[in-house]
């Protein structure tokens, strides 16, 4: 919105009108505050009035009981005369539902309402306080035993006329809670207001309206919204007894919903009216904008589009706005200069600045043109050559020398293929030739001439430089029916020449494409295998010479959702070529670490798991972008504990040590320093040398299964295995024999002193669930 002139204009208009809405809101808030203050005063007046009425009720009741206690008629609480007097007296006072005179033992017989039998009320605390403390008392809310209803009772002691210290009993006045309901109903509260009378425990004893569900307000003296969506102001007032304790609490919630609604309606009308005015203003502003700014800009934009599409730009009529007319004239001048500059731009854009050959853009244009004009399906040949290891020329002789060599190669190509439709340099050291109406035999012969010609030495700055080229060949329509397919085919043929040892010429074939396509698909599938959880680990037990399982080797398996089980020898090589082996290796280590805890619970704390490590992982370990294997293996583990017994063993191949470099040596040294044990796998399959073991501090040596499986059948294998075990022990290295499948092989190896055995004789690789229940049942004669 803000990147257009129209949007910015609308935004400015909004900024102008926003203060009005802001001040309208402030005015509404101010009116709301006034209403809140007014109704807060009303609520306080009502609450105070009710509290004052209650206090007056208590005071009048006290005066009444004092006067009653002084009458001679009540000084004989057990007499019939007292009962008739109190019964007649109760009828005279509507506010008292009952009047009673319990005697000095708390037995009530003199009562204003008829009793079926005397009542013992001495256990009532207010009765005891009136007798013992000789004062006016109140009960709080209780169920009166005489009337059987919730009431509040008041008591005053009765004394002998001649002895104020001796109590004859107490005079009791009983007020039902209905009186407070009537009191709240007569409070003249505004519509939708509420009021509650609470006892000393916070329980509701009366409410207005009647039977109203009590909702304790969260705050007082401020406007709050109730669960019934009504806005009210709550105030609180408490009435205390003679002891200063809360007798009753009055909560008054005065409704302010109606006046607030009136204020909202008034301000809604104001805002709606102003908004309508703003809309009308924006409509008028839009009309002004369209006629004065937008339409002229659209006309200028149309001129710019015609200019960009290389269409002829005609002189247009003046717009009528000076600034717009000046812009239109500028566009017309630009059109004249553009035509002149385009020719130079096209020439520069399709020419390689170093060799003066055509570049990739020119190649794409000409190849598409040749194929489009090829109506009779004559053969069109494409030769792609890539210089082998040309980076070494730049690194050793400098880029200036390399540029000279590239120019000389361009000259040789022009001289060798004068009939080529196009010769292009499409990359740093890549050249391509297009040849029309040529057969396979001719293009193969020409490619071989080019390869030999490029191989001839170049004399540059008194140096003789020799370079070779890998050349790919593709033909239309056999190898591709369009430019894209043809370029893919010739690129695959050149890549095949690279794989064949470089300095070679290769013709594209569909078998090559299928192999490369299969490889590409497999590499792409590898990228999703970890995320889709297609990998899983199997574990093969390794037993010691006593037959006890002490180690497991973790072996990766890949179950493709469409291709099924893919063995490791099919995908590990591609994973290393694509660099994905680092992520896969990291996953294997993490999975093995997670499994180790469960395995140790079953097979003991000394059990270890060996994991295979790729050479790329070791080289990445020392780089800035690689994960340190030491960190992966030792995460959340103290160094002291690792030195005693590390849970994971790193397995490397003999081939890795044969081709090791400084990064490999540093990685293995880091493992040694962190207490990680290293096993040399497949020992004996390469150019075996015990010097590797001495130089790299190998902990375990694993005899390849090829030698183990021939034990008992060939004396040579027996002698070789015995010699390997003997020499390894002499160097302090433990030996693991792989591929043990028979009892005879196990007995022979143990007889030679082999430390550990591994193979199908004990168990094939099994999943973690079976590892946790695995029991080694073979008896070994160590």
Q: Are 680 and 701 in contact (CB under 8 A)?
A: yes
Domains and their CATH numbers in the chain: 70-176 (3.30.450.20), 360-508 (3.30.70.270), 538-555+576-771 (3.20.20.450)
Is 643 a residue whose pLDDT tops 50?
A: no
With cut-offs at 50, 70 and 90, classify the pLDDT of residue 323.
Answer: low
Tokens 């055995």 appear where? 757
Average pLDDT over residues 679-689: 69
Q: Pick the range with the lowest mean pLDDT from 140-149, 175-184, 312-321, 526-535.
A: 312-321
Determine the Cα–Cα distance for residues 642 and 634; give it in Å rounded to an integer.
8
- For β-strands 194-198 and 422-425, DSSP reports them as unpaired
Tokens 């256990």 appear where? 123
Looking at residue 639, its pLDDT comes to 42
pLDDT digits (tens, 9 = 90+) for 151-165: 888 999 998 777 777
Cis bond upstream, residue 477 (ω within 30): yes
pLDDT digits (tens, 9 = 90+) for 243-286: 777 777 878 887 777 777 777 788 788 888 888 888 888 788 77
Q: Quick one: DSSP state of residue 351?
A: B
Q: Pick the range with the lowest mean pLDDT from 176-180, 600-604, 636-640, 729-733.
A: 636-640
Looking at residue 446, its pLDDT comes to 94
Looking at residue 756, its pLDDT comes to 95
What is the phi-psi region of residue 432: left when phi exceeds 0, alpha when psi lies from -120 to 50, beta otherwise? beta
For residue 595 the two structure tokens come to 């499994």
pLDDT digits (tens, 9 = 90+) for 375-412: 788 899 999 999 998 988 888 888 899 999 999 999 99
For residue 711 the two structure tokens come to 């034990």
Average pLDDT over residues 493-501: 87
Q: Pick the range with the lowest mean pLDDT from 25-29, 265-269, 479-483, 507-511.
A: 25-29
Three-state secondary structure readout of 162-227: CCCCCEEEEEEEEEECHHHHHHHHCCCCCCCCEEEEECCCCCEEEEECCCCCCCCCCCCCCEEECC
Rg (the chain; Cα; Å): 52
Pick the closest to residue 409 from 397, 421, 420, 417 (CA basis).
Answer: 417
Is 544 a residue whose pLDDT tops 90?
A: yes
Determine the Cα–Cα distance for residues 212 and 203; give it in Å rounded to an integer.
13
Average pLDDT over residues 338-360: 80
Pick the closest to residue 40 from 209, 175, 212, 217 (CA basis).
Answer: 217
Give every CB contact of residue 745 below 8 A, 6+ residues apart in sequence.
708, 709, 711, 712, 737, 759, 761
Q: Are 681 and 698 in contact (CB under 8 A)?
A: no
For residue 547 the two structure tokens come to 């037959």
Looking at residue 104, its pLDDT comes to 87
For residue 162 the two structure tokens come to 């001649």
Whole-number Cα distances in Å, 606 to 372, 553, 600, 630, 765: 73, 14, 7, 20, 20
Beta strands in 457-563 (DSSP E): 458-460, 463-465, 469-476, 505-507, 535-544, 549-560
With cut-offs at 50, 70 and 90, classify the pLDDT of residue 641.
Answer: very low
Determine the Cα–Cα distance for residues 542 and 557; give it in Å rounded to an integer.
19
Determine the Cα–Cα distance for residues 734 and 717; give it in Å rounded to an integer.
19
Look over the chain and give the mean of its residue pLDDT values, rounded to a whole number: 82
pLDDT digits (tens, 9 = 90+) for 6-50: 677 777 777 887 887 777 777 777 777 787 677 777 767 776 776
Q: Are 95 and 152 in contact (CB under 8 A)?
A: no
Is 632 a residue whose pLDDT tops 70?
A: no
Which run of H or of E encompasses 264?
A: helix 257-289
């Amino acid at each position: 919105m803000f990147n257009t002139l129209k949007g910015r204009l609308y935004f400015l208009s909004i900024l102008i009108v926003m203060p009005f809405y802001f001040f309208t809101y402030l005015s509404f808030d101010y009116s709301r505050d006034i209403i809140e203050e007014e109704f807060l005063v009303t609520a306080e007046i009502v609450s105070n009035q009710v509290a004052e009425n209650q206090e007056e009720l208590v005071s009048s009741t006290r005066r009444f009981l004092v006067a009653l206690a002084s009458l001679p008629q009540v000084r004989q609480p057990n007499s019939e005369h007292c009962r008739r007097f109190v019964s007649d007296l109760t009828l005279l006072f509507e506010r008292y539902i009952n009047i009673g005179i319990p005697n000095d033992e708390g037995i009530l017989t003199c009562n204003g309402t008829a009793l079926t039998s005397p009542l013992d009320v001495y256990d009532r605390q207010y009765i005891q306080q009136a007798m013992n403390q000789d004062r006016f008392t109140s009960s709080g809310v209780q169920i009166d035993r005489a009337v059987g209803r919730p009431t509040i009772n008041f008591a005053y002691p009765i004394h002998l006329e001649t002895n104020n210290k001796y109590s004859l009993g107490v005079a009791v006045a009983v007020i039902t809670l209905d009186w407070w309901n009537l009191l709240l109903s007569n409070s003249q509260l505004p519509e939708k207001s509420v009021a509650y009378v609470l006892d000393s425990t916070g329980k509701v004893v009366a409410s207005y309206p009647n039977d109203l569900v009590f909702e304790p307000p969260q705050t007082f003296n401020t406007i709050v919204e109730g669960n019934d969506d009504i806005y009210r102001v709550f105030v609180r007032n408490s009435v205390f007894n003679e002891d200063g304790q809360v007798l009753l609490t009055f909560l008054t919630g005065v409704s302010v919903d109606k006046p607030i609604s009136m204020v909202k309606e008034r301000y809604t009308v104001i805002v709606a009216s102003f908004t309508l005015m703003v809309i009308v203003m924006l409509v008028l502003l839009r009309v002004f904008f369209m006629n004065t700014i937008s339409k002229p800009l659209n006309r200028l934009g149309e001129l710019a589009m015609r200019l960009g599409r290389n269409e002829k730009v005609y002189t247009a009529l003046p717009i009528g706005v000076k600034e717009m007319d000046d812009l239109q004239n500028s566009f017309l001048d630009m059109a004249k200069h553009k035509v002149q500059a385009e020719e130079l731009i096209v020439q520069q854009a399709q020419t390689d600045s170093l060799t003066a050959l055509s570049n990739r853009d020119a190649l794409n244009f000409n190849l598409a043109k040749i194929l489009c004009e090829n109506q009779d399906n004559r053969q069109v040949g494409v030769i792609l050559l890539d210089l082998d290891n040309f980076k070494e020329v730049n690194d050793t002789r400098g880029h200036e020398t390399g540029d000279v060599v590239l120019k000389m190669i361009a000259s040789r190509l022009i001289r060798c293929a004068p009939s080529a439709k196009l010769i292009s340099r499409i990359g740093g050291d890549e050249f391509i030739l297009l040849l029309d109406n040529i057969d396979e035999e001719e293009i193969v012969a020409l490619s071989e001439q080019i390869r030999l010609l490029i191989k001839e030495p170049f004399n540059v700055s008194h140096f003789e430089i020799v370079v070779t080229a890998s050349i790919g060949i593709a033909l239309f329509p056999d190898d591709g029916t369009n430019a894209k397919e043809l370029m893919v085919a010739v690129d695959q043929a050149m890549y095949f020449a690279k794989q064949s040892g470089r300095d070679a010429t290769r013709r594209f074939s569909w078998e090559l494409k299928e192999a490369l396509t299969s490889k590409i698909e497999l590499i792409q599938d590898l990228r999703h295998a970890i995320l889709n959880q297609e990998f899983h680990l199997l574990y093969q037990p390794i037993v010691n010479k006593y037959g006890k399982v002490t180690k497991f080797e973790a072996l990766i398996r890949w179950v493709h959702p469409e291709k099924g089980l893919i063995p490791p020898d099919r995908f590990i090589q591609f994973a290393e070529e694509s660099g994905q082996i680092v992520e896969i290796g990291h996953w294997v280590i993490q999975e093995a670490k997670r499994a180790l805890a469960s395995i140790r619970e079953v097979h003991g704390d000394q059990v270890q798991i060996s994991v295979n490590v790729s050479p790329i992982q070791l080289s990445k370990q020392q780089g800035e972008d690689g994960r340190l294997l030491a960190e992966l293996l030792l995460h959340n583990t103290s160094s002291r504990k690792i030195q005693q017994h590390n849970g994971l063993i790193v397995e490397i191949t003999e081939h890795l040590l044969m081709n090791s470099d400084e990064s490999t040596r540093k990685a293995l040294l880091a493992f040694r320093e962190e207490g990680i044990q290293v096993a040399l796998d497949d020992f004996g399959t390469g150019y075996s040398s015990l010097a590797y073991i001495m130089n790299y501090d190998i902990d375990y040596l694993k005899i390849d299964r090829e030698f183990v499986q021939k034990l008992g059948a060939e004396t040579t294998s027996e002698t070789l295995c015995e010699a390997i075990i003997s020499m390894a022990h002499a160097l302090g290295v433990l030996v693991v024999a792989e591929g043990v499948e028979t009892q005879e092989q196990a007995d022979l190896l143990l007889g030679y002193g082999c430390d550990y055995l591994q193979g199908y004789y004990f168990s094939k690789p099994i999943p973690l669930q079976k590892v946790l229940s695995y029991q080694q049942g073979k008896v070994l004669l160590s």
